[in-house]
Structure 1
Amino acid sequence: MTNTLKTLARDGILRVAINTGNRALVQTNKGTLTGVSPALARRLAAEVGAEMRPVIYDGAGKVFADADKDSWDVGFLAIDAMRARKIAFTDPYITIEATYAVRAASRLVDVADVDTEGVRVLTAKGSAYDMHLSKTLQRATLERLGTPPDSFAAFRAGRCDAVAGVRASLEGAFGSDPDIRILPGVLTAVHQAMVLPHRNDPRITALDDFVARAIADGFVRQAVQTPEG
């Protein structure tokens, strides 16, 4: 399996798409990428004997949009049926929660309250929770804007009644803001996987084995609990 994965690298370099918009998976510590996704990227690069070269994105939608542009060799994205028409997924290495942030004075107190007539929901374009909301919202109005940081900034500035996001990212953006609350409950559980940029790439089997080993030996659990850096 390792010999198969070695072919992902070119000239000793493994280009890895890293989405810094998802704080549950990626953090930055004094200029160094930390968190479970960078940890897995470094482990994979070490296993195949290559230099890990991060290709930085600030939103999952941008990672997906570049899949057919030869911009990266391996990446990390939430599993989604629409995306699976274009790219190849491993089994998930972690499941994270998405929810909403609302203003402190809002009448919305739980995730279930948001899908109501007259409520405007802001989401990051192309994110996993954007795709989920596109399918499930029936009464509220959905608006899309750029990356998670873009949507968070617009919400803070007064746009919409709620903003969707990964719970860790929402906590990082609004946790110390007394004017904004993060709702209890789960909007959707997001299954995060490693990906290859082409749907029918046979090397996904070897990459799936890599993920399974990283889970089985406790590497993923340790990386989540104690981010490197």
Structure 2
Amino acid sequence: MQIDPSLVREFAPTGRLRAALNMGNPVLAHSRTAVERPAGVTIDLTRRFAQMLGVEADLIQFETAARSGAAVAAGAADIGFMAIDPKRAEAIHFTTPYVQIEGCYLVREASALQRNDEVDRAGTRVVVGEGSAYELFLSRHLQHASVVKVATSEAVVDAFLADSGIEVAAGVRQQLEADARRVGGVRLLPGRFMVIEQAMAMPRGRSGEAQALLESFIAEQRRSGFVREALQLHGIEGATTLL
């Protein structure tokens, strides 16, 4: 596929494609099978897109979605991979989503909470990773429970266990399941409180041609089965690939 040189310069103004990676998401930027690091579906997509543009890729790693998104919004990264959110969309352009993951609640074994709809009650404290898709969502939607923010998604369960006054931990299902196996004495509430739609992203203000190119790229990776196969290759389960 021949890409107009002006579009290549728009996507890679430094001559290299700078990709912001959210290393705090175990579905997107981690692999259970690959020896090299970083590895995961977003790394595979970055390299594939860079190859299409005919440039090399720089993988810029961030601990959180908030920092990754800030890099894209500021133009310090050329593309990124993160959950679609209206607040982020003020400074970031998103493609249509390519995968869905679930936001879930975790409680102590002895907790009286049994269902997701029981969480939003006065006095209930819910700990989340600051700037994550589920923190932004819960901060908008919880009307009675209060949100407690910690620096990273990986720190959520440890902060939850360290403070007996926090009744609920919220996060990506895969991260919470891994933490539950690690610490014991906790359980996930059945189901989910939200579906998190993950998309490719780039700074707002780019041309309509650039938006169309990124959209067509991710659409082809879904349609061809590349996203599904990459998740399988890296041993990632529980994510729904969109066609």
Aligned ranges 1:80-229 → 2 under 5 Å? 80-158=85-163, 160-202=166-208, 203-227=210-234
Mean CA deviation greater in 177-186 or 28-37: 28-37
In 2: Cα distance, 1:24 partner to 1:95 partner: 10
Asked if 1 retains the 8 angstrom alpha-carbon contact of 2:27 and 2:174, the reply is: yes
- Judge which range, 202-211 or 149-158, deviates more: 149-158
Residues 2 and 206, structure 1, Cα contact 8 Å, conserved in 2: no
Residue 77 of structure 1 is matched in structure 2 by 82
> CA–CA distance in 1 between the matches of 2:216 and 2:93?
14
- Which runs of 5 or more residues in structure 2 are unaligned? 236-243
Could you report, residue by residue, the CA deviation over 1:9-30 in whole angstroms, capped at 9, with x for unpaired residues? 2454211000011111121544
Q: Look up the match of 1:50.
A: 55
Q: Is the 8 Å Cα contact of residues 21 and 169 (structure 1) preserved in structure 2? A: no
List gaps (5 residues or longer) in structure 1.
none
Which amino acid letter does the alignment assign opposite residue 3 of structure 2? N
Superposition RMSD on alpha carbons, in Å? 2.0
Alpha-carbon distance in 1 for matches of 2:178, 2:52: 32
Q: Would the aligned equivalents of 1:103 and 1:179 in 2 still touch at CA under 8 Å?
A: yes
**Does residue 32 of structure 2 align to residue 6 of structure 1?**
no
Is 89-98 or 136-145 further displaced after alignment? 136-145
Equivalenced residue count is: 228
Q: TM-score, normalised by structure 2?
A: 0.86
Give the aligned residue type for 1:18.
L
SS in 2 for 1:170: helix
Q: Post-superposition shift, 1:199?
A: 4.5
- 1: distance between equivalents of 2:73 and 2:182? 39
Quickly say closer, same or farther: Cα 1:44–1:108, change in 2 above 3 A: same
Q: Once the two structures are superposed, what CA deviation does each residue of 1:112-141 show, in whole Å capped at 9, x if it has no partner?
A: 221122210011111111111112112211
Report the AA paired with residue 168 of structure 2.
A
Shift of 1:67: 2.9
* Mapped pair 1:25 → 2:28: yes
- TM-score, normalization by structure 1: 0.91
Look up the SS of the partner of 1:40 in the other structure: helix
Q: 1:157 to 1:16 in 2, by over 3 A?
A: same
Alpha-carbon shift at residue 68 of structure 1 (Å): 4.0
Aligned counterparts of 1:199 and 1:127: Cα–Cα separation in 2: 23
Cα distance, 1:165 vs. partner? 0.5
CA distance in structure 1 between the partners assigned to 2:67 and 2:103 by the alignment? 19
Matched, 1:16 2:16: no
Change (3 A) 1:2 1:129: farther
Could you list the per-position Cα deviations for residues 67-113 of structure 1 after superposition, in whole angstroms to 9, with x for gaps in the alignment? 34332110011111121111111010111111011112211122222
One-letter code aligned to 1:194: M
